Structure formats: C-alpha cells, structure tokens
Amino acid sequence: MKKIGFIGLGNMGKGMSINLSKENLQIFGYDINNNAYKNLKNHNILIANNLKNLIDESEIIITMLPDGLAVGKVWSEIITYSTPGKYIVDCSTIDVKTSRFVQMQAKEKGLMTLDAPVSGGVIGADQGTLTFMVGGKSQIYNEMKFLFEIMGKNSILCGEEGSGQSAKICNNMLLASTMIAVGESFNLGKNLGLDLNKLFEVISTSTGSCWAVNSYCPIKGIGPISPADKNYEGGFATALMYKDLGLAVDAAAETESNINYGIQTYKKYKYLTENKKGNLDFSNIINE
C-alpha cells in the first residue's frame, strides 16, 4: 500500500485528498488550520500531528498551498526531514522561479519532484475531474501518473521543472479574461430582452462555447449549478485569481511579452479584491 502525505486541506486539497482516500492508499493529512479537518472526519485520512510526522510516514508527499511563500517554507521542511528517494508533487499555483528553485533544492537531496498545478476548481477537485499541468522528468511523471488519474480526468506533461506552472498561469489568464467577456455577453443579451436560458443554449452549442459558459456559467439559474447559484460563495476565490493574474503579469514582464488585455483583467480583479470581495468566487467579476 502506498503511503501518501497531503499537505494543505483547504477548498481544493479537501476533495483531492478524499478522492485519494477512496483507493488502496494510506493517506496522511496536515493543515495549519485545524478547521480543515472537520470535512475529513468520515473519510479514511489519518491526521498527522505535525509536518515531520507526515514526512516520516509518507513515501509520496503532495502539497496544495496558497502561494510561493508557503510552498518555499513547507518544502524546506520536507527537504530537511526527507531521505533520498521520496517523491514530492506540488499542486499549488505559484511563480515559476520559486517552483524551479525548490525543486532544484529537493533534487540535490536526492528527492523526486514534479510541479503539477490544476485546473477545474473546487467542483473538479470534489468530483475527481481535474486537469493536471505537469512539469518534470518523464520517468517521474509516469511513476506518479496513477495519482493524477485518481484525482483528475487529464494530466499533461508540459516539459521540464516549472513547465506546469508556466502552463497554469497562461490558462488562468485566459479563463479570467473569458469570464469577463461571458458576463458582458449575457448582460447584453438581457438588455436586448433575450431569454437567458435560450442564450445559454445558443452559446454553449455555438462558436462562443467555452468552459466559463458550459461548466461554470456565472449567471444564477443558468446552466449547471455553479457558485453563481450560491451567491458566489465557495468556489475559486477572487483573491486567488488576482494572485494568479499577478503571476502572469510578472512573467510577462520578465519575458517581455505583450499581454495588454491580461493586464486589464488583472486590474479588474485587483479592484474587486481590494473592495472586500476577494472571498467571493472569481465569477463574481461579472457584477462589476
């Protein structure tokens, strides 16, 4: 039986760890927020007393943390207490520079690493339908692929270390921009007197079809159930999308890439986050 340590049991990590616990795996969980454990009481997940306890017990460690600072701190402890041959997979969304740096440090200790940020949101984490964008060596990816198949529907090896993070920030910049356009399209349709359910039928089966419409429509009562139906509570927080867009803006500056519309999108999410709506789902952007 494989022993898996899962660090970070928040909105995303909760569903991912629960799906792993349904297989023939021994799961150890850890989070600095004790409230995170409440959602795991009825699942086959052992709670570690501390990080060292989890590290000692695990053959494979998965991290799902909020930012690069947290990843750097946690990985430093993992590297310190781990013996050569252990596997570490980071599913957080962080800057490429930090991802490459911590993996380089881990490799010097003889550890096997991947960066594997995800797409699919909380719904995808809960339902096991995530897409993993993976960076690292192909041999390590092939050995860890069974985990991605449990927690998700797709995994793509994008290249060497850091490539998963690069793909993720490109994807999220497009998603955030698309969500704004979806909101504007439905608002125009409403003002034109259209039945929004009919507009959804048209867009979801026409050239405007996209994930932000088909799976995560930001209009209450339209399409599949989404955070819009819960007053934008839960889901993927606006503040986290703002953070991800900041990573894209920084990467564009470093690579001298032109992302004019991406910068406009970043500014819109910045405004929303700074006006006390950062806790709401990112699709709430359509109301601004």
* 106 closest CA partner among 133, 131, 137, 134: 137
- Host domain of residue 156: 2-160
pLDDT in tens, the chain (288 residues): 699 999 999 989 999 999 999 998 999 999 999 999 988 988 989 999 999 999 999 999 999 999 999 999 999 999 999 999 999 999 999 999 999 999 999 999 999 999 999 998 888 999 999 999 999 999 999 999 999 999 999 999 999 999 999 999 999 999 999 999 999 999 999 999 999 999 999 999 999 999 999 999 999 999 999 999 999 998 889 999 999 999 999 999 999 999 999 999 999 999 999 999 999 999 999 998
Kindly report the CATH number assigned to the domain that includes residue 38: 3.40.50.720
Domain boundary among 132, 160, 188: 160
Helical pair 238-255 and 163-191, crossing angle rounded to 10 deg = 120
* Residues 134, 207 share a domain: no
Domain boundary among 142, 160, 178: 160
* Residues 155, 25 share a domain: yes
Does 107 qualify as catalytic in the annotation? no
**pTM of the full predicted structure?**
0.91
Query: What pLDDT, on a 0 to 100 scale, did the predictor assign at position 210?
Result: 97
Catalytic residue among 97, 137, 145, 168: 168
